[in-house]
Homo-oligomer: A and B are copies of this chain.
Amino acid sequence: MRQSDEKRRYDDACGLAHALDLLGDRWAMLVVRELAYGPRRFSGLKADLPGISANVLTQRLAELERSGIIRKSKLPPPASVQVYEATPWGLEVAPVIGRLGKWAARSPAHDPTLPMSPAALMMSFETLFDPERAAGLRGRFGFRFGSADYIATVSGGAITVARRDCAGCDVVFTGESNDIAAVIHGGAPLELVRVEGDRSLAEKFRTLFPLPEKVETLGPLA
């Protein structure tokens, strides 16, 4: 628990400074990332945020709720479990933090071999998607992570992602998000994960997400 009532804030009218008042605390943006595709439970969030401790997660959820970025809600019966979900406004920041991620992927210090959560992987599909490479391609691509299913729909040079059952997809990838990330982004062999359905479509899917070029280590000598 916070000992003082007053949170540390920037004394600055700039919208960016206020964004950092709202999302600048450690873990806050990553919590929003995890909620980008639908409601999640406390334990799921904790599991997908490697290294966060329960008390910090509790505090972040409370602050984000106070700010109106997320809210508590209850899944319909018979589940009836409590979950956290992004509000419509909270959801609007997802594409912005996605672009922040795309920018950072050019950093020489970025290490793509670290673990990657299902939500992070699905967001990478949205942010790294290349419409030109997807021209003329149509398909529904399912991802079964054990904890949840997601589908990515490619059509008309665009991609959309949703958390939804994989039934009816043209291809379904099943495995750990780390391994699926290695296959899609890292060029690892398809055999690392389970692939059901149209295999050639799966191969094409892998080509849609070019990694941004790394920055030169010493920076361009302008």
Contacts and interface: CB of A to CB of B under 8 A. Distances in A.
B120 A14 contact: yes
Interface residues of A, number: 65
A112 interface: yes
Given A20-B29, A24-B26, A15 B87 contact: no
Interface stretch (A138-146, A155-163, A212-220): A212-220
Interface in A23-53: 23-24, 26, 29-30, 33, 49-51
Interface in A163-210: 178, 181
Given A96-B103, A106-B89, A30 B16 contact: yes
A183 to B, nearest CB: 14
B104 A22 contact: yes
Interface string A107-148: 111111111110010011001000000000000000000000
